[in-house]
Amino acid sequence: MALHHFPPTVNPQEVAEHLADRGYAIVDRVVGPQLLDRLASELEPFVRNSDVGQDQYDGAFTKRTGALIARSPTSRELVMHPLAIATVERFLRHATAVQLLLTQLITIEPGETRQKLHRDQMMFDLYPFPPHYHVQCNTMWAITDFTSENGATHICPGSSGLTDAAAAEIDPIQAEMERGSVLFYEGKVLHGGGANTGTRPRQGVNITYGVGWVRQEENQFLACPTEIARTLDDDLLRMMGYQQGAFSLGYVGDQLDPLAVLRGSNTKAGRIDAYAPHNEVLDAFADEAADHQSN
């Protein structure tokens, strides 16, 4: 049995609906080899110096290389890819704002064993979020082909609303996909990295987004030095957390806007309705995503 795949021209609303229904979605061939080669070249020295994991989740033959925004200009294109942003905004539209939670390149080396199945939302102190409330939306971009041999991610489709005991009855299916494809999956779905029984590493860029009111898994304000942050565009900075995450969350000092403070001004933080997602914004992202895929 295989997981469902969407073409690169898919409407983000379809992806968000499949996410809500099955806990995952795969979109094929979203980015080209030139971008992937550029990204791999930028990150290669950092991967070489990354340590392997220390526990059952991180893996004894797996390297996790973070701080991608600072280290790889190309990674910023994936963070703000129109399809990803449009899908995330729709899937998490119950929140006032969305933000970046994590950026990392995951390299699964030959010899790695299968990762323990888990739900990513456990990182929020194991808080029991209601079944209908999604706190995050994750992406895994295939930098290499993802195959059953090299450790493609295991997904238990439909496990999001189930207890752990009930979800354990679902047979996991590997998310095999071509290089340049992207796997979307949410924080409640059971999943885990596969065993690499091949001879070459499996690489994927894991970019995670979440509602604006939770703490980020990767601290973007320290992972990306201020001198680099000031060179980035406003949309990316807001996604990194230079915004209010909800009403009265995240302002600076005398209720100043965090992005304005980074830019050297003392503009007051905006009203709540300035941060709430609006349909016209989501529609603009969807149109941009469609145009991007058709070119």
Residue 80: which of 291, 250, 238 has the closest Cα? 238
Question: For residue 76, how many C-alpha atoms fall within 13 Å in the half-sphere facing its CB?
Answer: 19
Tokens linked to 232: 């980035």
pTM over 0.95: no
Q: Which regions of the chain are under pLDDT 50?
A: 275-282, 285
Domains of the chain, CATH where assigned: 5-242 (2.60.120.620), 251-276 (no CATH)
Beta strands in the chain, from DSSP E residues, in sequence order: 5-6, 24-27, 62-66, 98-108, 136-142, 154-155, 173-174, 182-186, 191-192, 202-211
Position 15 scores a pLDDT of 98
CA separation for the pair 278, 177 (Å, rounded): 33
Position 217 scores a pLDDT of 97
